[in-house]
A and B are shown apart, each in its own frame.
Chain A
Amino acid sequence: MAGAALLGRLSWRVATVTRVVDETPRVRTLELELPGWPGHVAGQHVDVRLTAEDGYRAERAYSLGSAPGEPPVITVERLEDGEVSPYLTEDVRLGDSFEVRGPIGGYFVWRPNDGGPLFLAAGGSGVVPMRAILRHRRNTMSEVRVRLLYSSRTIEDVIYREELDGEEVVHTLTRAQPPGWTGYARRVDTDLLREVAWSVDDGPLAFICGPTSFVESVAAGLVELGYAPRRIKTERFGATGGP
């Protein structure tokens, strides 16, 4: 009975790092082993809590980058003045442990029955929950059409670059572009959205994730194009210095 009563409760658990992947010079993916992990929905996140020797604690939220059914994975961008991300991107080693609580969230989530077509817009590490959605769509052989608009500073900052090559992705590189770049090279604006986003007539469902300013401008642009506000899901990371 005690076990049943605990089901559904959200408690801090000790996660062990079972895999480390360097995505870019500033971004690292950590696969976690979490005993008793109940499984998650694409788009959900976890809270990570670090405790210093003097007892000082810092908590941050990180989106899950793996699909439901896969081991939980977080992808972390190092913020220079961060309290948590420098540890997760530089110091942590295979087999290290820290506290995690989750999965969390019921708003910024996608299940195949939610339909589409899906228009995903990501700024920087806002691509992490989008990968969960893209993978989940593939794993379930969903026929929902999906297109990702992904804004990065430079080509070197593109996270999950190889994996995304297999998806319908429109990149824009806002700070520098490699020689011969033929893609977009500016911040997302309404004209860009008009060219890239699904037509309103298709009844699209939009997910936007990234720095607050990115999310605000994309959401406003989609509303201007006629997207129904209720069909636009947003998740803001705050200021991260880019893209």
Chain B
Amino acid sequence: MEALDGNAIGGILYHVFDREMTMAQAECVCGARGPLAECEVYLGGPGVVVRCRVCHSIVIVLVEVRQMMCVDICGLNKLEVPLRASDQKVSW
């Protein structure tokens, strides 16, 4: 199976995070960092598998099961989700 890239799952990511996510910066556990658009993406299986373009390890798995979207981000050190203009700064 040939890898696509994060552009291909822009719609699914938007659906899950309710915002544009292809420019969201992802940091793999290997330390590599870049926009989700540049990650390797495999769509052929029962879910979506996102791999690091540098070390090729799995960073995100998205699986839809019984009306639930399970988002496994165990391969990431960090995911920077961009705030929308309408998001208000939260005081803790």
Contacts and interface: CB of A to CB of B under 8 A. Distances in A.
Interface in A78-124: 101-102, 104-108
Nearest to B7: A235
Nearest to B82: A106
Contacts of A156: none
B66 to A, nearest CB: 15
Given A106-B20, A236-B4, A237-B4, A8 B10 contact: no
A211 B6 CA distance: 14
A135 B30 CA distance: 40
Interface string A6-18: 0011100000000
A152 B22 CA distance: 28
B18 A105 contact: no
Nearest to B15: A10
A154 interface: no
Contact of A238 (B4, B10, B18, B22): B4
Interface in B19-55: 19-20, 22-23, 35, 37-38
A10 B6 contact: no
B38 to A, nearest CB: 7
Q: Which of A45, A101, A105 has the most CB atoms of chain B within a 10 A radius of its CB?
A: A105
B14 A10 contact: yes
A234 B39 CA distance: 11
Contacts of A59: 11
A177 interface: no
A102 B11 contact: yes
B10 to A, nearest CB: 4
A61 B15 CA distance: 14
A61 B8 contact: yes
A45 B37 CA distance: 13
Contacts of A9: 18
Given A9-B18, A105-B22, A238 B2 contact: yes
A228 interface: no
Given A8-B84, A102-B11, A236-B8, A107 B3 contact: no
Contact of A236 (B3, B10, B22, B84): B3
Contact of A212 (B4, B10, B84): B4
Contacts of B3: 212, 236, 238
A227 B21 CA distance: 25
A106 B10 CA distance: 9
Nearest to A4: B86
A236 B14 CA distance: 19
A105 B20 contact: yes
Contacts of A236: 2-5, 7-8
A47 interface: yes
A239 B18 contact: no
Nearest to B23: A106
Contacts of A190: none
Max count, chain A CB within 10 A of own CB: residue among B4, B10, B37, B84: B10
Given A61-B10, A102-B11, A108-B37, 11 more contacts: A8-B19, A8-B86, A9-B18, A10-B11, A61-B11, A101-B11, A104-B10, A104-B11, A107-B37, A235-B7, A236-B7
